[in-house]
């Protein structure tokens, strides 16, 4: 794994294009995006206003939904949920309150290592967008997973550890 160029979060027209799936959710068409995409409603860390982002679900298990911050810790949604972890999540037609909990780098590495073989094209595309050059090996994806922040969204109003 090589870090080629870590991009900044999208701005301008690119940002608008990245946000188009939010419109699908607003039109009630979110279920068309399936269970691998979630609408995250969170609180702006500066404004205190509701904000929305559509992000990919990289894992769903009995502990909640997991997403990666592809643009790293600079992504607005990531910074917002770290400041105010109580959020609302919609996956498909299901909407619920959740608590955002950061995942340790070692666990993130394993999540990415398991994600890549299940979704090889998406994993390669995600790595390219995030500025990583990978050879396709599980070891490379594991290393990428150590460099990007993962968040678990635990259903319910409060997470207990």
**pLDDT tens per residue, range 113-142:** 999 999 999 899 889 888 899 999 999 999
Can you name the CATH fold of 2-155? Pnp Oxidase; Chain A (2.30.110)
* pLDDT of res. 160: 46
d(CA 27, CA 133): 37
Mean pLDDT, rounded, for 39-55: 97
DSSP E strand boundaries for the chain: 2-3, 37-43, 50-56, 59-61, 64-68, 86-91, 94-103, 132-133, 150-155
d(CA 84, CA 88): 12
* pLDDT of res. 130: 84
- Contact, 103 vs 82, CB < 8 A? no
Nearest to 89 by CA among 103, 101, 100: 100
- Residue spans per domain, the chain: 2-155
Bridge partners (DSSP) listed for residue 76: none
Bridge partners (DSSP) listed for residue 38: 55, 91
**pLDDT tens per residue, range 57-112:** 999 998 999 999 988 898 999 999 999 999 999 998 899 999 999 999 999 999 99
156: left (phi over 0), alpha (psi -120 to 50) or beta: left
- Contact, 77 vs 153, CB < 8 A? no
d(CA 7, CA 131): 6
**pLDDT tens per residue, range 3-36:** 777 667 777 877 778 788 998 998 998 888 888 8
* pLDDT of res. 161: 43
- Contact, 5 vs 127, CB < 8 A? no
* pLDDT of res. 98: 98
pLDDT band at 158 (very low <50, low <70, confident <90, very high): low
- Contact, 156 vs 86, CB < 8 A? no
Query: What is the pTM for the complete model shown?
Result: 0.88
CB-count exposure of residue 11 (10 Å: 0-12, 13-18, 19+): exposed
């Amino acid at each position: 794994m090589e870090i080629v160029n870590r991009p900044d979060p999208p701005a301008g027209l690119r940002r608008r294009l990245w946000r188009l799936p939010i419109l699908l959710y607003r039109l009630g068409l979110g279920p068309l995006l399936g269970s691998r995409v979630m609408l995250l409603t969170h609180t702006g860390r500066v404004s205190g206003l509701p904000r929305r982002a559509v992000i990919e679900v990289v894992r769903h298990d009995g502990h909640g939904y997991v997403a990666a911050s592809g643009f790293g810790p600079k992504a607005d949604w990531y910074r917002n949920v770290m400041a105010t972890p109580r959020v609302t999540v919609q996956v498909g037609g299901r909407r619920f309150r959740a608590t955002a909990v950061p995942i340790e780098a070692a666990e993130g590495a394993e999540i990415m290592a398991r994600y890549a073989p299940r979704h090889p094209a998406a994993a390669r595309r995600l790595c390219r967008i995030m500025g990583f050059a990978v050879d396709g090996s599980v070891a490379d994806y594991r290393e990428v997973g150590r460099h990007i922040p993962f968040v678990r969204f635990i259903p319910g109003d409060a997470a207990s550890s």
